[in-house]
């Protein structure tokens, strides 16, 4: 087992914040998604000790391999989540299979989780599709389909003042990977505050004060350096094998000029010689950095300090005192 998941499994034994991650991602992305969020939490507020536990929801379709991964990495169920006395919860998105979220097989389980969070649960943060599901369930805000997939790295800026974003730079990049969006005007009409946005990608981080303050991300600031590339390769493979009808666009601002030229040549060949075995000749791509990770660390760090301050009745600036190693 990777060391970072071993740490999540064993927990951190000293008193601190108890954080649950509800990982709804498909089997192939379970490990990488858990690792991404755990890496962000590890670096977000180093002065805080955070006990992390992993959870899964019923209704998310799993293969035998996926179910074995959940068992081997001590994923717990919804009943155990409710009984865990958590201080905060992160709910990941997943890859949608249906046009309407309420038609997804996991919808009832996710709706039960959302109801519990609003009624009795701790502060929560939602990622991508989980954000779309939450605003639909809480306020009836329907996501709307995009003409093209919002895919790649996009320039963002902050909107107004908030403790979650005060330490962000004037401009920063965040990864997006989605076919749908929730419109800014609908969020505003229902009392959500938009904290970061992009001219090209729209709303990114937004919040609403319900019983607790809830955070919503349309993008993926937690993505590691290779995630967008892996998703692109996956979608090319799906096209060549006939699982999707259209050839995917390259992620925005991700590949360098040399790689883009090689990928364009491969695309021209693939659309003329469409067969799965052509994937063996896919171009070799370079490693790269993920600029959005510092954004995730800044926002999640401020969020964890806010929660620690409320738990221990101190100011957020002093929330880490007594927790540092």
pLDDT at 160 over 70: yes
Mean pLDDT of 105-114: 96
Q: Which of 88-92, 285-289, 301-305 shows the lowest per-residue confidence on average (mean pLDDT)? A: 285-289
Segments forming the whole domain that contains residue 242: 227-281
User: What is the average pLDDT value for the chain, to the nearest integer?
Assistant: 90
125 vs 323, higher pLDDT = 125
Is the CB of residue 126 less than 8 Å from the CB of residue 204?
Answer: no
* 249 and 293 share one domain: no
pLDDT score recorded for residue 312: 77
Same domain (yes/no): 57, 152: yes
User: DSSP secondary structure string, 58-115?
Assistant: TTS---HHHHHHHHHTT-B-HHHHHHS--SEEEE------SSSGGGSTTHHHHHHHHH
Task: Please indicate, yes or no, whether residues 134 and 217 belong to a single structural domain of this protein.
Answer: yes
> Model-level pTM?
0.90
Instruction: Determine, yes or no, domain membership for 27.
Output: yes
Question: Which is more confident, 301 or 4?
Answer: 301
Q: List active site positions.
A: 128, 220, 222
In 10 A of CB 66, how many CB atoms? 17
Residues 192 and 264 both lie in one domain: no
Contact in structure between 22 and 56 (CB atoms under 8 Å): yes
For residue 174, the 8-state DSSP code is E
* pLDDT value at 99 more than 60: yes
Cβ-based neighbour number of residue 232 at 10 Å? 21
Express as a percent the part of the chain with pLDDT over 70. Answer: 89
Residues 171 and 49 in one domain: yes
Q: Are residues 85 and 143 in the same domain?
A: yes
Domain presence at residue 325: no
For residue 80, the domain's CATH number is 3.40.50.880
Cα separation, 125 vs 130, in Å, equals: 9
- Residue 324 resides in a domain: no
How many domains does one find in the chain?
2
């Amino acid at each position: 087992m990777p060391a970072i998941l071993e740490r999540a499994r064993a927990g951190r034994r000293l008193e601190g914040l108890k954080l649950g991650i509800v990982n709804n991602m498909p089997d192939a992305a379970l490990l990488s998604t858990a690792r991404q969020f755990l890496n962000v939490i590890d670096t977000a507020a180093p002065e805080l000790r955070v006990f992390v536990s992993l959870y899964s929801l019923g209704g998310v379709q799993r293969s035998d391999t996926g179910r074995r991964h959940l068992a081997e990495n001590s994923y717990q169920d919804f009943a155990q989540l409710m009984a865990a006395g958590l201080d905060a919860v992160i709910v990941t998105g997943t890859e949608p299979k249906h046009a309407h979220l309420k038609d997804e097989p996991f919808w009832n389980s996710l709706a039960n989780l959302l109801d519990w969070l609003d009624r009795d649960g701790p502060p929560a943060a939602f990622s991508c599709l989980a954000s779309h599901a939450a605003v639909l369930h809480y306020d009836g805000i329907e996501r709307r389909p995009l003409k093209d997939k919002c895919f790649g790295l996009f320039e963002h800026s902050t909107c107004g003042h908030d403790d979650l974003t005060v330490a962000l730079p004037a401009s920063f990049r965040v990864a997006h990977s989605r076919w749908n969006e929730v419109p800014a005007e609908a969020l505003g009409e229902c009392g959500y505050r938009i904290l970061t946005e992009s001219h090209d990608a729209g709303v990114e981080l937004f919040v609403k004060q319900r019983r607790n303050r809830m955070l919503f991300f349309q993008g993926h600031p937690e993505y590691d350096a290779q995630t967008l590339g892996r998703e692109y390769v996956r979608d090319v493979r799906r096209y060549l094998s006939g699982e999707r009808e259209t050839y995917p666009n390259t992620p925005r601002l991700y590949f360098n000029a040399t790689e883009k030229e090689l990928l364009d040549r491969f695309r021209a060949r693939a659309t003329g010689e469409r067969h799965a075995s052509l994937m063996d000749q896919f171009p070799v791509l370079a490693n790269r950095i993920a600029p959005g990770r510092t954004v995730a660390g800044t926002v999640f760090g401020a969020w964890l300090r806010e929660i620690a301050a409320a738990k221990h009745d101190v100011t957020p600036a002093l929330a880490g005192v007594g927790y540092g190693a």
